[in-house]
A and B are shown apart, each in its own frame.
Chain A
Amino acid sequence: MPSAPDHLSTTLAALSDPTRRAILARLAGGEATVTELAAPFAMSMPAVSRHLKVLEHAGLITRAREAQWRPCRISAAPLKDVAEWLAHYQRFWTESLDRLDEYLQDVQKKEKKHGHGKLRAKRRA
């Protein structure tokens, strides 16, 4: 993996702001200039630029260097890391809870068979 250890937190941090998510959603439909991105928001151009910088730092967007109007483009790679982490986290809980379910059934079966007698014997001892 070429990414730094906490690359994922940088991505999640960049995604934590509703304006930035709206910008990404807009860019998912195709590249756009800063002016075009600022249009739907009641926000100054410098404010929008700051959001774009955060997105760029997280690798979520790229900006053309050559053109004066520097169109922004969404970049999917960091989102893939988020998707992978979510999938991993989901697997952790889904399988853990499946195992908990089996454990609970198992323990109750054992208790029914001989557990109660044993427990009482232990307590008396």
Chain B
Amino acid sequence: MATGSFVPKEGHELVLTRVFDAPRELVFKAWTDPKRVAEWWGPRGFTNPVCELDVRPGGAILIHMRGPDGTVYPMTGVYQEVVEPERIVFTSAALDAAGNPMFELLTTVTFAEQGGKTKQILRARVIESTAQAAPYLAGMEAGWTQSLERLVSYVTKHAKE
């Protein structure tokens, strides 16, 4: 299933909710201390030889993810909001297989205390594209996620044609 545990919220966001058995301050640190972020960022088997985080509004994000086969995937971004210990907002460029930026994503991560545990909600949405596609992306808020899911289910049925 391509969409898996992503829940489209209000039709335009990808939303992932997790409850961590850890205090909120620790979870926030795990997101903002570069050494800690390098420990968990990326799919299984990936390492992060470069992890530079200037954690303040306007500050830059630079992470080089290294896959199990040695391929390095650079990722860049900019923090929009940093409210300790409850909220981080950042933009990042989605890269294609060749490492070229395709379009920008806005990711919002919120942390709420929940009886000694931490409820984390991560929301991501596409905010703009490369110059070529930009004029058409203005209407992106209009529910593309749900539609994509319908289209994706169409594709999984027809892709083999």
Q: Are B129 and A102 in contact, CB atoms less than 8 angstroms apart?
A: no
Bound Cα distance from A6 to B132, whole angstroms: 9
Tell me whether B83 is interfacial, beta carbon within 8 Å: no
Provide the bound-state CA to CA distance between A84 and B134, in Å.
22
**In the complex, what residues of A have CB within 8 A of residue B159's CB?**
76, 79-80, 83
The verdict on A67 contacting chain B, using a C-beta distance below 8 Å, is: no
- Chain B residues whose CB sits within 8 angstroms of the CB of A76 once the complex forms: 154-155, 158-159, 161
Contacts of B39 in A (CB 8 A): 99, 103
Interface residues on A, range: 35 or more
A28 — nearest CB in chain B belongs to which residue?
B154
Closest to B27 in A: A104
Chain B positions 101 through 131: 1 when the CB is less than 8 Å from some CB of chain A, otherwise 0: 0110000000000000000101010100110
Q: Which residues of A contact B20 (CB under 8 A)?
A: 100-101, 104
Please give the distance in Å from A74's CB to the nearest CB on chain B. 8
Task: Report B15-41 CB contacts with A as 1/0, cut-off 8 Å.
Answer: 010101110001100100000100111
A56 to chain B, nearest CB (A): 13
Q: Which residues of A contact B97 (CB under 8 A)?
A: 1
List residues of chain A with CB within 8 A of the CB of B152: 79, 82-83, 86
User: Which of A13, A80, A92 lies in contact with B43, CB distance below 8 A?
Assistant: A92
Q: Are A102 and B151 in contact (CB under 8 A)?
A: no
Check if A49 is an interface residue, CB within 8 A of chain B. Answer: no
CA gap between A98 and B2 in the complex, in Å:
18
Answer whether residue B9 sits at the interface, using C-beta atoms and an 8 A cutoff.
no
Q: Which 6 A-B pairs have the closest CB atoms?
A: A13-B133, A13-B136, A99-B40, A95-B43, A9-B129, A104-B22
